[in-house]
Amino acid sequence: MQPTTTNYYLKLMNTINNTNLQFPKQKSLYIGKVREVYNIDNHLLVMIATDRLSAFDVVLPRQIPFKGQILNQIATKMMHETAAIVPNWLVANPDENVAVGHLCEPFKVEMVIRGYLSGHAAREYKLGKRILCGVAMPEGLKENDKFPTPIITPSTKADNGEHDEDISREEILAKGIVSEADYLVLEEYTRKLFTKGSEIAAKRGLILVDTKYEFGKTKEGKIVLIDEIHTPDSSRYFYADGYQERQDKAVPQKQLSKEFVRQWLIENGFQGKEGQQVPEMTDEKVLEISNRYIELYEQITGETFVKASTENVLKRIETNVNSFLSK
């Protein structure tokens, strides 16, 4: 029996699940839901974007071809485009799946900012809630309506396998998770990045609906943007063309984000809750998700996606990182 085209294609793709590499002067390895971060001599961090896929804070059982490359390249491109307004941790990109940056102590909160009533906020709103993370949401909104002013709704930064949780500004300060002086900077940077991200999106016919930013502090005490920025995993985009018409007709928005994965999971009875099982991820579903991520890349960046070689992919990464570190 001949394999299907999908089966054959996927067998050619060596996706990245775990890296387990060793680099010179390596001090430690942190494994997140999607990224693996190597501490080099307590000076640099080597962040490798794997092809793992997470949703509802759960790592799904199959990897998605090229997902890590896509997220890494979008994030680093956006870092370069926003560096003039907010400092970031990035030093170099020695490989398509790798970002190298300054060692930082991450803040234990994710700064979520929402310009529209979508996703988690919309689900809470439908339950009758009008306060999210201590921030009031106006009455009379329908799903995907624009907020009068973008709202910041932080969440705790969960360890691997745990769930992020909503938290208010007041709770963050009361618990001493972030000092007030630092939190004011995080809020300022979050609003600046969202404004810039919205401008970038508008040039590409998109609306930046909501996103999250993560920040850290360098050894010198400087607050910088870290991790990913404006990727489909951390952000939600709508197509600007037809947005208002779809709102007027009360039909779903055409969007670019990981939401299509979440919706597929919800439709199949999974939201990361105890006792629920991830639906089967067939070869066809894996390839569909990969193709959607490529579409996201091209729409968000305005560039054609160029697939990196996946032959001996871990060896490729190891060689490229070692070459950079030896300089």
Tokens of 176: 């001493």
**Residue position matching structure tokens 């569909």:** 288
pTM assigned to the model: 0.88
Which regions of 6-106 does DSSP assign to beta strands (E)?
Answer: 26-31, 35-40, 44-49, 54-55, 58-59, 90-95, 98-102, 104-106
- 232-263 pLDDT, tens digit per residue, is 888 999 999 999 999 999 999 988 778 788 88
Task: Identify the band that residue 2 occupies on the pLDDT scale cut at 50, 70 and 90.
Answer: very low
- Residue 113, C-beta contacts closer than 8 angstroms, at least 6 positions apart: 150, 151, 152, 153, 190, 191, 194, 210, 211, 212, 213
Distance CA 84, CA 182 (A): 20
Task: Give the per-residue pLDDT at 163.
Answer: 58
Are 96 and 69 a contacting pair, CB within 8 Å? yes
Distance CA 258, CA 237 (A): 10
Q: Which amino acid type is present at position 134?
A: G
Range from 1-15, 175-189, 287-301 carrying the lowest mean pLDDT: 1-15
Helix locations, the chain, DSSP H:
5-12, 67-82, 119-126, 169-174, 180-203, 243-248, 259-267, 283-301, 313-325
Task: Identify the band that residue 19 occupies on the pLDDT scale cut at 50, 70 and 90.
Answer: very high
Whether the pLDDT of residue 229 is over 90: the answer is: yes
How many CA atoms within 13 Å lie on the side-chain side of 165?
A: 6
Q: Which of 27, 25, 30, 5 is nearest to 216 (CA)?
A: 30
Tokens of 321: 């990182």
CA dihedral (60, 64, 69, 73) in degrees, to 10, reads -70
232 vs 134 pLDDT, higher one: 134
Task: Give the per-residue pLDDT at 161.
Answer: 46
Pairing of strands 58-59, 135-136: unpaired
Max distance between CA atoms of the chain, in angstroms, equals: 66
Domain ranges of the chain: 106-260
- 303-324 pLDDT, tens digit per residue, is 999 999 998 999 999 999 999 9
Pairing of strands 206-218, 98-102: unpaired
- 160-193 pLDDT, tens digit per residue, is 445 578 999 999 999 999 999 999 999 999 999 9
- 77-110 pLDDT, tens digit per residue, is 999 999 999 999 999 999 999 999 999 999 999 9
CATH topology of domain 106-260: D-amino Acid Aminotransferase; Chain A, domain 1 (3.30.470)
The string over 183-216, giving b where at least 16 C-beta atoms fall within 10 Å of a residue's C-beta and e elsewhere, is bebbeebbeebbebbbebbeeeebbbbbbbbbbb
Whether the pLDDT of residue 10 is over 70: the answer is: no
Are 93 and 100 a contacting pair, CB within 8 Å? yes
Task: Give the per-residue pLDDT at 233.
Answer: 84
- 275-288 pLDDT, tens digit per residue, is 899 999 999 999 99
Distance CA 276, CA 2 (A): 35
